Structure 1
Amino acid sequence: MTQDFDLNPTIPVAPADFRSGFVALIGRPNVGKSTLMNQLIGQKVAITSPVAQTTRNRLRGILSTDQAQIIFVDTPGIHKPHHELGKILVKNARSTVGAVDLVVFIVDGAVPLGKGDQFIADFLVKTEAKVILGVNKIDQRPDKRPEIFASYQALATQNHWQLQEFSALAGDRLPELQDKLIQALDPGPYYYPPDLITDQPERFIMAELIREQILLHTRQEIPHSVAIAIEQVNEGEEITEVRAAINVERNSQKGIIIGKKGAMLKTIGTAARQQIQKLIAGKVYLELFVKVQPKWRQSRTRLAELGYRLEDN
């Protein structure tokens, strides 16, 4: 197993000028929060997908440098919830703001400031959070960039926020953003060992990697009606056996995931297995099966069983 997810190594004493803190990544769905966290950390800890509202759990990613340790909290996109799961996700995202040292409010730099962004901005202004406005996707629509930038510059100026443009996908101007984050944090200790990149257990990451492949291969057919439960992990000397349940709400969704003669499930399993092998740096045998759990997103009991609950700060 890789050592990146070992939660028990020794935590060193930080030097006198060391900075550290918790940084929330806040924004509308699909503005690039998970992509940004993965890029800054340098390794994949959060799943990404063209489907909006990919992130569900409050996932911590850890960036340690010689000067600082930044603990990123990737939150679900703030949106109008349509079911019990959505309500929990949005409440958790909003509650995160009161428990961190700094907020990076990420917006889509390919479009001007909109109502969804203004809604989040109005919420942040009412808090005591220190905010950096991060304008992502600056590599898109260069012909409209001055006009788009002006709308976000006005928002930052109005609220006395720092502003940083970047492209999370291309990696452009991320060093400048990282410098601003470090300077905005107060002096502090190491909260985690410097070689740790997330505080989540491997089973959680495995489940997320499987869910990512379902989102990528089924797109809008299975938008958010799927939850993964890792039922068993057996670590052998030569191979790790993983058994996982894919929970959906309807029989029609089960049929889509399985596909004709099991072709889709095989495709999802092969892609997920390759990602999990990178995670644990070893061979994996992955067994997937599909369960129908009617209306699981509406049931607090089912949500809790599948790992979704209101988080305490």
Structure 2
Amino acid sequence: MRSGIVTIAGRPNVGKSSLLNALVGRKVSIVSHKPQTTRHRIQGVLHRGEDQIVFVDTPGLHRQQKRALNRVMNEAAASALRDVDLVLFVVEAGRWTEEDQAVFERLARGTTPVGLIVNKIDQLKDRAELLPVLHKLAAMRPYAFVVPVSALRRDNLDPLVDEILAQLPEGPALYPPGQVVAHGDDFTVAEVVREKLIRNLHEELPYALTVEVEHYERDEDIDRVSAIVWVEREGQKKIVIGENGATLKKVGTAARRELERQFGRKVFLKLWCKVRENWSDDPKALRRFGLTPDD
């Protein structure tokens, strides 16, 4: 059997989390159209027969590091490139940015084999454009393989898995059979709530909030969870709560429904919103919220 650890790397908002979810076959990492949604290293496990691939989704590597949170996210992404068997460098078909170039240069300094994944091929107006794009990208450096995919439509994923497995060493499984996620239910709750907040709030507010699970109690037929939405200013708290609590109630309902689908059991979810000034630039707060370089 073959098994190994594969890091998914790329600039923000290129589709890394969508690719992880598509490969694993269930939602492991939250997804939104806003850049820098992923803040942690998140592992999802793909079982194919006796073979096993442990995928590591990473925060998007980005140039701006205005706050401690940005620096921590970059360190989380960079550390996930070390001591792994393969890196998947995800780019967007027909688009190359300065941040793509920065990731390319970082990967070029390493010795880990890199496979190039050209994502979002479904967005090309003319598929005839794809071949020249692939040739151009493949000529930039030696890649272990180059595979075009659409994570959204799950196109061409089986050939990608074949290519990945061919690069992995022979060895024992790293996780038990059937285990798909490598994090606990409390982490899932916090991330799902944060995803619903991101989708219901606008502008920069999603970057100024985080979610902390305060209490988690599992009974036979229901999970009882309370969580805090932390923001940086009183004005942000009013926006998160909404008029007469409408926004926070909407977020809580959407999160509860998704968690019940994921867990297959009833969930009672209670949300509060509190202020911790400038938490995103406070190392102590980042450690408390699990957003540390060692995360």
Question: Is 1:42 equivalent to 2:13 in the alignment?
Answer: no
Asked if the contact 2:60–2:74 (Cα under 8 Å) also holds between the matched residues in 1, the reply is: yes
1:288 paired residue among 271, 286, 290: 271
Misfit runs of 4+, over 6 Å? none
2:142 corresponds to: 160
Matches within 5 A, 1:61-210: 61-80=44-63, 81-109=65-93, 111-143=94-126, 145-147=127-129, 150-161=132-143, 162-210=145-193
Asked if the contact 2:19–2:151 (Cα under 8 Å) also holds between the matched residues in 1, the reply is: yes
Residue 167 of structure 1: SS of its match in structure 2?
coil
Q: Which amino acid aligns with 2:285?
A: R
* TM-score, length basis structure 1: 0.90
1:20 corresponds to: 3
Distance 2:130 2:148 in 1: 11
1:244 corresponds to: 227
1:218 corresponds to: 201
* TM-score, length basis structure 2: 0.95
Residue 123 of structure 2: SS of its match in structure 1?
coil
2:281 paired residue among 279, 298, 303: 298
Output the aligned Cα RMSD. 1.4
Residue 261 (structure 1) shift: 1.0
Q: Deviation digits for residues 50-99 of structure 1, max 9, x if unmatched?
A: 11111111111111111410000000000022210100110121121112
Residue 97 of structure 1: SS of its match in structure 2?
coil
How many positions carry a matched residue from both structures? Answer: 293
Q: Mind listing any 5+ residue stretches in structure 2 that lack a counterpart?
A: none
1:11 corresponds to: none
Residue 52 of structure 2: SS of its match in structure 1?
strand
Asked if the contact 1:51–1:219 (Cα under 8 Å) also holds between the matched residues in 2, the reply is: no
- Identity over aligned residues, as a percent? 39
Q: Deviation digits for residues 251-304 of structure 1, max 9, x if unmatched?
A: 111111111111101100000001111222111111000011110010100100
Residue 265 of structure 1: SS of its match in structure 2?
helix
Distance 1:153 1:210 in 2: 41
Q: Mind listing any 5+ residue stretches in structure 1 that lack a counterpart?
A: 1-17
Distance 2:131 2:204 in 1: 35
Q: Which amino acid aligns with 1:48?
A: V
Q: Which amino acid aligns with 1:75?
A: T
Residue 47 of structure 1: SS of its match in structure 2?
coil
